[in-house]
Amino acid sequence: MATVTPYLDTRTKRKSGLYPIVIIVNHDKKQKFIPTGWKINPRYWAKNRVKNHGDAEVINAKISSIVDDADNYIAECMLRNRPIRIELIGTGKSSHSFPDFITDKSKLFKEDERIIMGKKFERLAKEIDNVQPGITFAEINDDFLRKLEKKMIDNGNSQNTRHGKFKMLSQIYGQALRAGKADPPNPFDSVKVKKEPVRKEKLTTEEISAIEKIEAFNDVAIARDMFLFAYYCKGIRFENCLLMQRDDIKDGRIIVRANKGGKFISIKIHSRLQVLIDKYKTGPFLFPYVKESPAGNATKVSLVGTYNTIVNRNLKVVGALAGIKKNLTFHIARHSFAYQMKSVTDNIHVIKDSLGHSKTSTTEVYLESLMDERLDKEVAKLYGE
């Protein structure tokens, strides 16, 4: 049982002869001291009250107010069968702040140099605060979650973006439950945003050939070559391509560690890859954008983001020159490789290892939205063209 007791803290001798009045809360072998803001001489303290002091009435009213608030919080917890959280007593809050919890997680990610996750959590906390500033876990209900989704819609978030955010918020709430900061049930279990099927864009072998044949110069040529290099290298991601070093090329192979999952991918250098390697011969990095290794993860994230934007802008020109009607972006190189691999082999393990995935389930989901044309051909066997 929790106890709330006014106390004159005389544990440390003070030259002024004045000692602070605090409220001591004891619960479950934990103790909390809540300051009242008042200090008095011990001669005015008797039976947990101030007596014969000029401000006795004001001070006692302050003591009673804090004690009443603490008692009310404890009574409400017992009535609603909620755990008593001693750290909340005296704060005026019945529950921890949801955006503050997310912000604390964001700081931990940034300290661990997981910059992208840190920024994601930071943006989520701001979105929630914009709907209802400082909302506590206890205040999150269906009505608030509908308002949150409407705010996301107003901000231009697609349905799948909203799905991803709600899924992440549900996981965060689950973490708060395990940390003893929130009470069950998880409100995100009853309000969910359905995920829409996504059709991943990819290129045919004819479109890849058209890109190979265009005449390009300067940054447009670099963008084209990086795109083809990624496609030839089993669809490696932009970060791996941008930071590819000549030391990664040994004994006729390229060894690269995937920036997602951390698996090593080994690529045998074939003739089309060799042409690109021979084209760029100066500097420690294969492609000419990066001159030296970025200092720290934050710098690397900024560098990759900047050049990804530049390359994607130039790929629009590449697509136009090649007569491709699709919105050409760097990641389509990875989609295209996966699609072409699926057209030559049904061995999911071969495709998984080629893409650097850790699980076949990830590969199956990845391939699912790439196979429209192949399904069309199979159906055509039944109905005809």
Task: State the DSSP string of 169-188.
Answer: HHHHHHHHHHTTSS-SS-GG
Identify the sign of the CA torsion 315, 318, 320, 322.
negative
Task: State the DSSP string of 306-359.
Answer: HHHHHHHHHHHHHHHHTT--S---TTHHHHHHHHHHHHH---HHHHHHHHT-S-
Q: What is the pTM of this model?
A: 0.69
- Phi–psi pair at 269, nearest 5 degrees: -80, 115
Domain ranges, ordered by start, for the chain: 3-88, 98-189, 205-382
Q: Which CATH class is domain 205-382?
A: mainly alpha
Residue 370 has what pLDDT?
A: 56
**Can you point out the beta strands (E) in the chain?**
3-8, 19-27, 30-40, 45-46, 49-50, 249-250, 253-257, 264-268
Q: Can you give the pLDDT of all 385 residues of the chain as single tens digits?
A: 799 999 999 999 999 999 999 999 999 999 999 999 999 999 999 999 999 999 999 999 999 999 999 999 899 888 878 788 898 898 887 789 999 999 999 999 999 988 889 999 999 999 999 999 999 998 999 999 999 999 999 999 999 999 999 999 999 999 999 998 898 999 999 998 998 887 788 999 999 999 999 999 999 999 999 999 999 998 999 999 999 999 889 899 998 887 666 778 889 999 999 999 999 988 899 999 999 999 888 899 899 999 999 999 999 999 999 999 999 999 999 989 888 888 777 777 766 766 666 677 666 665 665 555 555 555 455 556 5
Residue 14 has what pLDDT?
A: 92
